[in-house]
Chains A and B, each alone.
Chain A
């Protein structure tokens, strides 16, 4: 069974002075993968500038825009319709023995293959004093430990908007214990990596019909690599495994690889920006 989702992404930028040259790159198109299939992609901007569909450095689809005339305000609206296959996050067999999977993650080949997702990045570096705040119990499977980490992160951090921003590092998050989906995901990734498990930051959309946290912006969660199973999605903000309601756009080492909008705007003076996201679902 599959569900059809309709996603609307809106952004509006206002500038105090005329802008003569600007470039934007949007990383907001849902990824095509074995659970996500497109029906339609539509993107408009208020200046009628051409939308160039391209890819970013990691191969994810982008939309690039460069208005050819001066402006003081511009708005963007994207509409995506896609079919999402019903996802049962528990649809796999753990199979292999626990001991073997812990041996696997110690192998050099494994560490080399997953090196970027085991790295300590700007957003996923734990303060020295906190490097052992969550340690895996090697009596239990890696998957069980990751579920426990997901739950631990959910309990440890209080969801609160407005106290952190895109520059917040783990140091503050651990000490102050609140943040938004980005912060939950960075902490989850950092602790998974600390325990030798490759983890990647995922940006995307969350269908909120079920009362989940994730506000009306884009959402973030994480994927961890479980030997013999593959990448499994964890949403520590909601203490869930990623499921049908999680619509993935991109993944990376951390937020910096996935920021939905990158722009170069040559302008002086103040500017204001607003974003809004809406996800609707129709059962088929």
Chain B
């Protein structure tokens, strides 16, 4: 079956400059996609639309939604989804998985160091400013040994494929990376709509995430605890990721709690239950550092638990991720990742870093100011794609504004060359056809004591606006089921 006969892809326009995930250099369908291409091609676009609509409404009916901040009225949205999956073969996946573990381990060692001896700074490998001017460095964590020696239990490493065909890491999210529930829901939705396609591929399961997460969290239980009691703490139902919090608690088989459901007595944490207080040993917290304990951090926080940090400091409870982990989530730290990996693990980085210019260095600042149209300018401390400017999309006035902002506060910005994210055929409602859209991949790595787990799959995020490079859901991104193939 050739391209012309394929009904569903007959109008697919392929821009040869972009790296298309399903075509090879010669314009032929890649082997791993051929079967899928044929199977989908057997349907008419009308059949496909019907299935896709059904799948989407099932998301809404199940309440798999998120909210966007900063809009006048916050409203629930579904994460746009399409039924054409992304496939990653075993060899490519192997690189991603080893790379993600390597980074997570290196970051864990980095965190230990910056809260203990600070050797990496004394050895001159990274500058002191990484901690002294980071808003996320928590002095209260200095000298604390987190249970099991783990800071970043859960890391969300975002990777892209550049037009050179290589994977690059865009950022390491190690505060409260979200999105894993969509990975599982996308798989469920696809199975429901097109069960048959799974018969033709040997795909790794993604539904084992929750059990692995619980398993590994339990390896970091506090000393002296036999069978730890784990809970998931959420800021509440108005949080943009509430669905995920409830989903994870449910699938891990643990309680979902809010701050007011817990209390601290004599430096131990308890959950209020109708059967009386129940001691809590591990808290998977989806609340930011500043809000976890109003007696230690922000006093206006109604989300946290008074006394929680004292319990943590005494080693009576595990917090995942550990407080203060955000210092390594800083985009300025990202730029030192190759050196950090080398320093702690004595290994070469498996995944590439995107070259980064530090606006805090005078010579690099000069380069950035002169080359804004070729660069992406990012604030170092914002998450969710907020505040990112892509140089070649800016008007002259916007360029001047950015220059001014960067000059006023150089430490706040880094710049990177504009990476060309690979594209993947994505169903677009407006044109009722498949079009090329940029994609990235958020991977999920869990570190336990001497054990680690990477979810074989991940969240392929799609920038739905044509030509757009920012894939975050808060910026109008969609997602795809992602298959990792067994050999």
Contacts from A to B (Cβ < 8 Å) = 23, 25, 52, 54-59, 62, 64, 66, 108-109, 111-113, 115-116, 118-119, 253, 257, 262-264
* Residues A57 and B131 in contact, CB atoms below 8 Å apart: no
* Residues B299 and A264 in contact, CB atoms below 8 Å apart: yes
* Residues B132 and A64 in contact, CB atoms below 8 Å apart: no
* Residues A115 and B307 in contact, CB atoms below 8 Å apart: no
* Residues B306 and A119 in contact, CB atoms below 8 Å apart: no
* Residues A55 and B313 in contact, CB atoms below 8 Å apart: yes
* Residues B267 and A115 in contact, CB atoms below 8 Å apart: no
A23 touching B295 in the complex, CB below 8 Å, given contacts A115-B132, A253-B139, A264-B306: yes
Q: Which candidate, B4-12, B81-89, B121-129, B339-347, is the interface stretch facing chain A?
A: B121-129
- Of the candidates B122, B132, B299, B314, the one whose C-beta lies within 8 Å of that of A109 is B122
* Residues A116 and B122 in contact, CB atoms below 8 Å apart: no
* Residues A108 and B295 in contact, CB atoms below 8 Å apart: no
Cα-based distance from A109 to B132 in the complex (angstroms): 14
Cα-based distance from A25 to B308 in the complex (angstroms): 12
Residues of A within 8 A of B118 (CB): 112-113, 115
Residues of A within 8 A of B299 (CB): 262-264
**What is the predominant secondary structure among interface residues of chain A facing chain B?**
mixed
Tally the A-B contacts, defined by beta carbons under 8 Å: 70
* Residues A115 and B128 in contact, CB atoms below 8 Å apart: yes
As a 0/1 sequence over residues 279 to 312 of chain B, the CB contacts with chain A under 8 angstroms (1 = contact) are 0000000000000001110010000001101100
* Residues A119 and B295 in contact, CB atoms below 8 Å apart: no
* Residues A108 and B122 in contact, CB atoms below 8 Å apart: yes
Q: Is B140 in the interface zone, CB < 8 Å from A?
A: yes
Cα-based distance from A187 to B13 in the complex (angstroms): 67
Cα-based distance from A118 to B309 in the complex (angstroms): 25
* Residues A54 and B307 in contact, CB atoms below 8 Å apart: yes
* Residues A64 and B128 in contact, CB atoms below 8 Å apart: no
8 residue pairs bridging A and B, Cβ less than 8 Å apart? A23-B306, A25-B306, A56-B296, A57-B139, A62-B310, A64-B307, A108-B121, A112-B122
Most buried by A among B124, B266, B314: B266
* Residues A112 and B121 in contact, CB atoms below 8 Å apart: yes
Q: Is B432 in the interface zone, CB < 8 Å from A?
A: no
* Residues A55 and B131 in contact, CB atoms below 8 Å apart: no
* Residues B310 and A55 in contact, CB atoms below 8 Å apart: yes
Closest to B294 in A: A264
Residues of B within 8 A of A108 (CB): 121-122, 124, 128
Q: Is B265 in the interface zone, CB < 8 Å from A?
A: yes
- Of the candidates A56, A118, A253, A263, the one whose C-beta lies within 8 Å of that of B310 is A56
